[in-house]
Structure 1
Amino acid sequence: MSELLQKASKLKKASKQLGILSAEEKNTALLQMAEQIAKEKEWIIRENEKDIRTGKENGMSASLLDRLLLTSERIDQIVEGVRQVVALEDPIGEILEAWERPNGLHIQTVRVPLGVIGMVYEARPNVTVDAGSLCLKAGNAVLLRGSTSALHSNKALVGVMRKALAETAIPEDAVQLLEDTSRETASQMFRLNQYLDVLIPRGGAGLIQSVVQNATVPVLETGVGNCHIFIDQMAGKKMAIDIAVNAKLQRPSVCNAIETVLVHKEWPYVSELLNTLHEKGVELRGNEELAASYSFVNPASDEDWACEYLAPILAVKLIGDVYEAIDHIDQYGTKHSEAIITENAENVRLFFQSVDAAVLYHNASTRFTDGEQFGYGAEIGISTQKLHARGPMGLKAITTTKAIVQGTGQIRG
């Protein structure tokens, strides 16, 4: 039997045990997991360094290396993320609705685990723990399939997680890492309906589309982030510049960083905005008018408006009004996170009603599209689709429901 089938079979069995555990039992296990990760931090970092060295040798981009890197501070953040998940209310068993029919049947809708979740992701070892902790808290077993570039890091993290779980009520087999990262095995995983209840891809556009187009297992689709900020004519200078700088530079390599700024052509502080971004090391690519007016602004191609740079590169465009901003986002956006900076309440209303995205902002940075920032603890991904879940996905997004019907002998005539 292949590694995939062996581990999938163990997960299916473990999910049955996991699904009936109490919140206290799951929380105790997760705290043990957090403590073990903290205890073995230095070893995890040494294993991560192997992946970093290989990535550099293979010419991995700076943005991908940043995603791959585990530092002491980042592991502390991972551990804190697990503890935040522990602090969250357990969603399993929550009664969402209850009603009684005229025939005396009492019906409840109750929240239950999905079962076995397959996570497919790229060079983000933090996802290994985020996904693992969220899945376990929500009563789901999880099959983790990371990329070859993070294999040493993922093996170390999963090894530590399983070691911790071995002493708890959660079966250690509830977390499995698929170490075979070949395309053939991935394709088999995407069609493993008899073992997996859902797939969640998290990464670049190529990975996500590969899963969506080839899977027979249901997919909870996360999306790439070609995110925009529209600076309206009635936007304050300091607020607009501060938000644009934060949304681009606070961490350029993540999906909720902005890739395009749309600026009302009558906003009086365009020069200050562009000069600030340029001075902070951002490569600017603008429309004809901007490229002609500023020596440090390169002409933008049509591809620039659609690009998720994940780097300190920003497309900038002068536009006429909120309607043109909405049209541009409709054409090039990826339904992730979009922001408007303005004091014009009517334009905010139009923007919020017309822009199709998982998260919309008024006078705030798009960098808040994040499970922790939304109060969900760690997130399993940011959904840009419309069915089941949308936006940052926390615990409730990886559950489903069942109807419980209680009777006193009713039969249907």
Structure 2
Amino acid sequence: MNDMSNDTNNMDVTAIVADLGRRAKAAAQKLAMATAQQRNQALKEAAKELRLRTREILAANAIDLSSVSGRDDAFIDRLTLTENRVAAMADAVDAIADQSDPLGRMLASFDRPNGLKIDRVSVPIGVIAMIYESRPNVGSDAGALCIKSGNTVILRGGSESLHSSREIVACLAAGLKAAGLPEDAVQLVDTKDREAVKLLLQSTDTVDLAIPRGGRGLVSLVQKEARVPTLLHLDGNNHSYIHESADFEKAVGIVQNAKMRRTGICGATECVVIDRAVAAKVLPLLEDALGDCELRGDAEAQDILAGITPATEEDWDTEYLSNIISVKIVADLSEAIAFVQDHSSGHTDAIISEDKAAAKQFMSAIDSAVVMHNASTQFSDGGEFGMGAEIGIATGKMHARGPVGAEQLTSFKYLVFGDGQQRP
């Protein structure tokens, strides 16, 4: 465990990050050799600790919340922990423990004419730097997924959640200790110094992969400063497209959930696209269902709803993470696909349609990590995908894409078996 005290802000941040990296690398060698039973035991014990220390976690979270007055509601929601949310964190850790072992899987096996037998098997990546913003539960999810996949992790959460993160990491460390595994397998960058992020991204001797989870500012910083490989989690400028064949009741219910269930998460719909043929009927129903959500629409939407706020070009590319949604009226499926392709962040987009051919065309054409048919975009989540939890939604196309669970946190190596063969 990272045992740095609160006065680390007065220490040399370069030395702090270098020490974290050395300890993580040493722990990675031990964790990679651990059995699945040991790793699962660590997770089960960590889940118990999260439940036992709920009061302490909530007290630490209250300290974090007391220092962010004046921030918007979506930010406060992401930072806030409750008894139910801590319980959900513990349940997720338990669920990860119950999954099949992602390590040692036989990915391929083939025999060569010269008698060599070659196996490709899954192995840990090594040391992962997880850089995230205000959601303290990300630390629990990331730590658990890394333990399950045999990786060590250095967590750098938002400075606003530092007290909460300390308590969460302490629970994970207790689980590791109980299983006889190195507590340094999960460490926290226990300083608010922003230089630590840059240093982590440039720790080529110790960090094997960096995963940022946050807004465009964080992602831009990673793209600019990273010297280590990265797995990007971009913002969720997600679309729900209501096709002319849509069942109105179904469409309104889906969009209401996709936007309003939790407005501050990356799976929330930020723009609803509606076919012109049904816009006049469905848009007033949608306005009623969305309640206090502000609608910002194009000229056609404004003609249908007199009180709607005019949308700007900037709105089409904005992840609001609040009670705001943009509305775009399109001529048909082709125009909808073109609009979504132009403005989506590649996270999650959905079509609501009773026409299976139209749905298939949309789902084939939209190049996002997750594309849905007749479902809320808020299902774009590792837990909902049966992964127990996720370390993020990867929006790139290399290594892993979509929800990143334990299986996606593995690499592979080749095992070659011979009997004296020599290459001519």
TM-score bracket for the superposition, by shorter chain length: over 0.9
Match of 2:282 in 1: 270
Match of 2:44 among 7, 31, 46: 31
Q: Is the 8 A contact 1:383 1:390 kept in 2?
A: yes
- Cα deviations across residues 351-370 of structure 1 (Å, max 9, x unaligned)? 11211100111111111110
In 2: Cα distance, 1:2 partner to 1:227 partner: 40
Match of 2:349 among 335, 338, 343: 338
In 2: Cα distance, 1:202 partner to 1:181 partner: 17
Secondary structure (helix, strand or coil) at the match of 2:203 reads: coil
> Which aligned pairs between 1:297-376 and structure 2 lie closer than 5 A?
297-376=308-387
The CA RMSD measured in Å over matched residues stands at 1.1
Shift of 1:164: 3.3
- Cα deviations across residues 151-179 of structure 1 (Å, max 9, x unaligned)? 11111111232233223222101111001
Q: Is the 8 A contact 1:193 1:217 kept in 2?
A: yes
The amino acid of 2:20's aligned partner reads: K
Unaligned regions of 5+ residues in structure 1, if any? none
1:404 to 2:412 alignment: no
Which moves more between the two structures, 179-188 or 103-112? Answer: 179-188
In 2: Cα distance, 1:14 partner to 1:228 partner: 42
Secondary structure (helix, strand or coil) at the match of 2:296 reads: strand
1:258 to 2:269 alignment: yes
Secondary structure (helix, strand or coil) at the match of 2:273 reads: strand
- Cα deviations across residues 224-257 of structure 1 (Å, max 9, x unaligned)? 1000011011100110000010000011100110
> Which aligned pairs between 1:85-234 and structure 2 lie closer than 5 A?
85-234=96-245
In 1: Cα distance, 2:186 partner to 2:348 partner: 31
The amino acid of 2:250's aligned partner reads: M
Secondary structure (helix, strand or coil) at the match of 2:154 reads: strand
The amino acid of 1:316's aligned partner reads: V
Q: Is the 8 A contact 1:283 1:313 kept in 2?
A: yes
The amino acid of 1:239's aligned partner reads: K
In 1: Cα distance, 2:92 partner to 2:236 partner: 23
Q: Is the 8 A contact 2:248 2:282 kept in 1?
A: no
Shift of 1:2: 1.1
Q: Is the 8 A contact 2:28 2:126 kept in 1?
A: yes
Match of 1:22 in 2: 35
Which moves more between the two structures, 20-29 or 106-115? Answer: 20-29
Shift of 1:334: 0.4
Match of 2:7 in 1: none
In 1: Cα distance, 2:116 partner to 2:403 partner: 37
Secondary structure (helix, strand or coil) at the match of 1:55 reads: coil
Secondary structure (helix, strand or coil) at the match of 2:109 reads: strand
Q: Is the 8 A contact 1:254 1:310 kept in 2?
A: yes
| Distance 1:292-1:269 versus aligned 2 partners, 3 A rule | closer
Shift of 1:213: 2.1
Match of 2:11 in 1: none
Match of 2:388 among 377, 382, 404: 377
Q: Is the 8 A contact 1:326 1:355 kept in 2?
A: yes
Unaligned regions of 5+ residues in structure 2, if any? 1-13
Secondary structure (helix, strand or coil) at the match of 2:37 reads: helix
The amino acid of 1:359's aligned partner reads: V
Secondary structure (helix, strand or coil) at the match of 1:269 reads: helix
Shift of 1:350: 1.6
Match of 2:60 in 1: 47
Q: Is the 8 A contact 2:240 2:349 kept in 1?
A: yes
1:296 to 2:307 alignment: yes
- Cα deviations across residues 317-373 of structure 1 (Å, max 9, x unaligned)? 111001111111111100111111111222112211211100111111111110010
In 2: Cα distance, 1:380 partner to 1:274 partner: 33
Aligned residue pairs: how many?
410
In 2: Cα distance, 1:165 partner to 1:401 partner: 24
In 1: Cα distance, 2:35 partner to 2:151 partner: 13
In 1: Cα distance, 2:120 partner to 2:254 partner: 42
In 2: Cα distance, 1:405 partner to 1:355 partner: 40
Query: In percent, how many aligned pairs have the same letter?
Result: 39
Secondary structure (helix, strand or coil) at the match of 2:235 reads: coil
In 1: Cα distance, 2:171 partner to 2:368 partner: 37
1:238 to 2:253 alignment: no
- Cα deviations across residues 16-37 of structure 1 (Å, max 9, x unaligned)? 0000111111111111111011
Shift of 1:104: 0.4
